[in-house]
Structure 1
Amino acid sequence: MDFSSLAIEHTIGIGLILALLAWNALTEEAGKAAIRDPAQPDARLRIYNKAMISLWLLAIACMVLWLRSGTTLPELGLRAGGGWRTLLSWAIVGAISAYMVASLLQARFSRTARTRLREQLSQPGDYGLIHPETPREHRRFIWLAVTAGITEEILFRGFLIGVLSLIVPLWLAALLAAGIFILGHAYQGVQGMVGLLPITGILTLVYVVGDSIWPAIALHIVVDVVAGLLFRISDQFADADAEAGIAAASP
C-alpha cells in the first residue's frame, strides 16, 4: 500500500467516518435503553434526527475535504456517466426497484405475504433502533431513508472507494468500503449484518460498473423507503391479520 498517495484531507475524511462509526457503537446501548424507557416516548425520533444530522454533516465535510485535496465532485462519482456501463447500472436499479415495489404491493394486499414478512422480521437481527412504531416515527423514517440513501453512498461508495483506490486495487477498495459500510450497521446484530451482504454487494457493483454514484443513490433510497413502508404495513395490519388467522383456524 502506497500511503504517500493519500492527501491529508483523505486521511482526515477516513478518520471522521471511522470516528462516527465508533461513536455510534459506543452510544448504541444507551439508545436502545432510551427506546425501552416509557418516560422517553420520543427517543427513537431523537435517534433518527441525530442520525440524519450526523450523516449530512459528515457527507458535506468529506465532500469539502475531497475538493480541498485537489479532486473534483465528478471524480467523487457525482457525474451523469454515459455509455453502456451506465445504462447497465440503471437497468439493474430499475429491475431491483420493480421487484421491491412488487413486494410492497404484495404485502399490502396479501395476508400470506404479510405473515411471511413478519416471520422474516422476527429472525435474529436487532432492528429496535430503526423499526418505527408510531405514525410520527414512520413519517420520520422516510426522511431518514432518503438521507441514508444520499449520504451513505457519498461516504461509503464515492469517498471511501475513491480514496482507498489510491493505495490498493479498485476491487480491494470496493471490498474494504463494503466491509466498513456493513460494520456501520452493527446495531442490527450479526444476522442483520449478514442480511446486508446482498444489497451491499449490489450497491457496490452498481457504482463501480456505472462509473456514477447516482444509480446507487437511487437504489439505496428505494430499498430503504420500501423497507420503511414494509414496517408500516406489517404493523398496520397486525391485529386484523391475527384475527383473520384465528377465524380461519376455527372449525
Structure 2
Amino acid sequence: MTIQPTEWLMLFIIVLMPVYSLWEADKVKIAILAGRKTKIRAYQDAMLFMWLPTLVLLALMAYGAFAPSDFSLLWLGNLGNWIGTVFVVAIAGYFAYSAYTLMHNASARQKFRDVSQNHDWMMPVNKSELRWFTLGLSVSAGVCEELLFRGFIIGALGDSLGVVVSLILSSLLFGLCHVYQGWMNVLRTGIIGLVLGVIFILTESLWVVIALHALVDIYGGIVGYLFQQPEK
C-alpha cells in the first residue's frame, strides 16, 4: 500500500514540528525567565503551535481524505476499548489521590520538588496560569498530539509503514517536539510516546490515549502549581 499525496503532506507538516521546536530551543525558557514573555502567553503560543497542523488534519478529514476509522475514533465496544476505558478511570483516580496526598504532605512535596526543578520555569504559579495550563495547554496537547502522532502516523499510516516503523517514527517525532524542555526530556517524552503508541494499538481507541495524555499533563500542571506555593 502506497502513501497518498495528502498523507505525504501531513507527514511533512508533522516533521516540521520538531524542526521548529529545535529552532526555538531555549528561546521560550529564556524569555520567560527574563520577564519578556508571560507563562500564559507561552501556553497560548504552544496551543497555537499544536492546533495549526491539527486543523489542517481535520480539514483533510472533512474533505474526505481520511476517515474517523483510520484514526480509531469510532467506539467498537470490544474488549480493548473497555479495558482502555477502565484504565483511564483508574489512572484518573490515582492522580486525584496523589494530588490530594501532595497537597497535605509537605515531605512528599519536597521529594517530588527535588526531581522536578528543571521544569519550574514552565509550571503555573497562580490560578490563572493553572487554568490555562490544565484546561488549555494540557487538553490541547491530549487532543492535538494524539491525533497527529498516534492517530495519523500509527493509525492512518500504519498499513503503509508497518506497525513497528510507524510506532518508532511517532515516538521519535513526539519526543523531538519537546526539545525546548531539554534533551533529557526528549528521551523521556519519546518513551512516553512509545507507551502511548502501544496502548493505542492494544486498545484500538484514540480516545483512550487522548484522555491519558491530557490526564498526565493536567496532573503535571497541578503538581507543578503545588510546588510553587509557599509552605505554610
Q: Structures share a fold, TM > 0.5? A: yes
Contact persistence 1:129–1:187 (CA under 8 A)? no
Q: Which runs of 5+ in 1 are unaligned?
A: 241-251
RMSD: 2.1
Identical residues among aligned pairs (%): 25
Structure 1 equivalent of residue 11 of structure 2: 14
Structure 1 equivalent of residue 75 of structure 2: 80
CA offsets 1:194-232 (integer angstroms, 9 cap, x no match)? 333553233222211111111111111111111100011
Structure 2 equivalent of residue 244 of structure 1: none
Contact persistence 2:174–2:189 (CA under 8 A)? no
Count of matched residue positions in the alignment of Structure 1 and Structure 2: 231
Three-state SS of the structure 2 residue aligned to 1:6 is coil
Structure 2 equivalent of residue 35 of structure 1: 32
Return closer, same or farther for 1:7/1:67 CA change in 2, 3 Å cut-off: farther
Letter matched to residue 189 of structure 1: G
Structure 2 equivalent of residue 151 of structure 1: 144
Structure 2 equivalent of residue 191 of structure 1: 184
Structure 2 equivalent of residue 176 of structure 1: 169
The answer to whether the aligner puts 1:63 opposite 2:58 as a matched pair is: yes
Question: Following TM superposition, by how much is the alpha carbon of 1:69 offset from its aligned partner in structure 2, in angstroms?
Answer: 6.2
1:102-251 pair list within 5 angstroms: 102-122=97-117, 126-127=118-119, 130-142=122-134, 143-236=136-229, 238-240=230-232
Return closer, same or farther for 1:199/1:29 CA change in 2, 3 Å cut-off: closer
Structure 1 equivalent of residue 22 of structure 2: 25
TM-score normalized by the length of structure 1: 0.83
Q: Which runs of 5+ in 2 are unaligned?
A: none
Letter matched to residue 127 of structure 1: H
Contact persistence 1:207–1:215 (CA under 8 A)? yes
Question: Following TM superposition, by how much is the alpha carbon of 1:13 offset from its aligned partner in structure 2, in angstroms?
Answer: 0.5
Structure 2 equivalent of residue 48 of structure 1: 43
Return closer, same or farther for 1:87/1:160 CA change in 2, 3 Å cut-off: same
